Structure 1
Amino acid sequence: MKTFKSVIAALLLVAAVPVNAGDDWANFRRYEQADIEAAKLPADQRRVVFMGNSITENWNHAHPNFFTSHGFVPRGISGQTSYQFLLRFRDDVINIHPEIVVINAGTNDVAENNHVFSEDRTFGNIVSMVELAKANGIRPVLSTVLPSNRFPWRQEITDGSRKIISLNKRIKKYADENGIPFVDYYSPMVLDESGALNPAYSDDGVHPTPAGYDLMEKIVLEVLGKM
């Protein structure tokens, strides 16, 4: 547990560092070689790509066997927003040729990691990724933003929980209207009406602990199993 907490602390520091827009803003280099190798794997070893931020990246650190045993490919980068996801979507998803992509975006948009939050634009980025996936024969799966009512690296943002609830409602409505499988991490992980992430599943109010990932795995596997 101490090692996992150290990883969380390190990634929080990364999230707080301003990104240099002139130096690979989308971080294409991060998975460049791994993407080349993943595309060569047998189909059953690259069935599903998980596109995300530090929540996805930490997941692979906490439970790497979850990904390898199911043929899942983690593509999380700490601190990133949906804008950066969209830029690297071709490299980190389309070029791997998976059957399915699970998209978990929004936490760092609400935290305003590199721009003022706009629900319309964040939602538009998510829709664009869905459309890119469909155009390339990849089945999209959408998921809720995890609950959070505070961001340790952006303590001046005090209305994050309200924005997360609104964005999640919009993602759910879009998924329902378009027949897109939907993963609800929010409902079983929220503490109460405050919109906080239940401390049973998180140490910092944003990132899941291994126990949190246990719950998330159960939820997402149930959705993927129906596909």
Structure 2
Amino acid sequence: MKKFFTLLILGIFPICNYSQDTTMNKDWPNLNKYAKENSQLATTNTVVFMGDSITEFWKVNDESYFNCNSYINRGISGQTTPQMLLRFRQDVIELNPSVVVILAGINDIAENTGPISIESIMENIISMVELAKANKIKVILCTVLPANHFNWNPKLEPADKVIALNHLISNYAKKNKITCVDYYAAMVDDEKGLPIIYSADGVHPNLEGYKVMEVLVQKGISTYLKK
């Protein structure tokens, strides 16, 4: 009997993994996640937040921030910049916003979809910016939040890569006269990480963390919308 259950368990897990991989292969950028919701939106003069889990969980932690301001959250947990770039037209441009807030890159550093250079991450971010500009959408670029470890990929030491990417983001924004919201500087601790007051796992903000981010990003959004 024990042998039977062992074989059964060993058989089930490969099937589950295969199913997840198959889903990703069919819809790698996860275009289906917001497709129905997008089709039901009638948006004008609004703001779209494009990002990964940090953006997606923002609405979970503080739904009122998005609802009261009529902001649209298009974060998808685990995503990297090439995935965001592939869905940028559907989840941002076609919603016809006035402003897009882009927070991206931490999952690339975590190698969620494989190793990638800091320069290639930045190129993907630049491509999203150029798509937005071509469609008359104002851009707010955000520095990546501090992180000095990943629970799901403990072999990596991300702190210095986060700093390097943020340097590229800040310089590009300054050179191209794009509003840059510096979450990193406002939230980093003396170990180049995200302090426990703002996060339980050192990567994803809690409500206190999101409140800090809201104050910072709202200044940039207000400037654009007033214009």
Alignment TM-score, normalising by the size of structure 1: 0.87
User: What is the percentage of aligned positions where both structures have the same residue?
Assistant: 45
> In the alignment, does 2:33 pair up with 1:33?
no
After superposition, the C-alpha distances for 1:61-107 in whole angstroms (9 at most, x for unaligned) are 01111011112100000000001000000000000000000000011
Tell me the distance in 1 between the aligned counterparts of 2:28 and 2:174.
Answer: 33
The whole-number CA distance in structure 2 between the counterparts of 1:37 and 1:140 is 24
Show the counterpart of 2:206: 209
* 2:186 equivalent in structure 1: 188
What's 2:8 paired with? none
Match of 2:80 in 1: 81
Q: CA deviation at 1:20?
A: 5.2
User: What residue ranges of structure 1 are gaps of 5+ in the alignment?
Assistant: 1-16
Provide the C-alpha distance between the structure 1 equivalents of 2:24 and 2:210, rounded to a whole number of angstroms: 32
Aligned match of 2:159: 161
Shift of 1:19: 8.0
Q: Secondary structure at the match of 1:131?
A: helix
* 1:225 aligned partner, one-letter code: S
Residues 100-119 of structure 1: CA distance to partner in whole angstroms, max 9, x if unpaired?
00000011000000110311
Residues 118 and 20 (structure 1), Cα distance of their counterparts in 2 relative to 1, 3 Å cut: farther
Q: What is the total number of aligned residue pairs between the two structures? A: 205
Give, as a single letter, the amino acid of the residue that structure 1 aligns with 2:208: A
Any idea what SS the aligned residue of 1:30 has? Answer: coil
1:139-167 alpha-carbon deviations (Å, 9 max, x no partner): 11100000000011000102x01000000
Q: Which moved more, 1:142-151 or 1:29-38?
A: 29-38
Q: Does 1:123 align with 2:126?
A: no
Provide the secondary structure at the position in 1 that maps to 2:56.
Answer: helix
Secondary structure of the residue that 1:29 maps to in structure 2?
Answer: coil
After superposition, the C-alpha distances for 1:152-186 in whole angstroms (9 at most, x for unaligned) are: 1000102x010000000110000000010000100
What is the match of residue 14 of structure 1?
none
Per-residue deviation, residues 176-220 of structure 1 (Å, max 9, x unmatched): 00010000100110011x211011100000000001011110111
CA shift, 1:26, in A, is: 0.3
Which of 216, 220, 224 lines up with 2:217 in the alignment? 220
Where does 1:43-54 land on structure 2 (aligned, <5 Å)? 43-44=44-45, 47-54=46-53
Cα distance, 1:21 vs. partner? 4.3
Letter in 2 for 1:63: D
Residue of structure 2 in register with 1:11 after alignment: none
For the Cα contact (< 8 Å) 1:19–1:25, is it kept in 2? no
1:24 counterpart residue number:
27
Superposed displacement of residue 23, structure 1: 2.1
Equivalent position amino acid for 1:141 in 2: I
Q: Secondary structure at the match of 1:182?
A: strand
What is the identity, as a one-letter code, of the residue corresponding to 1:198?
P
Say whether the 8 Å CA contact 1:18–1:114 is kept in structure 2: no
Secondary structure of 1:101's aligned partner: strand
Q: Judge which range, 91-100 or 62-71, deviates more.
A: 62-71
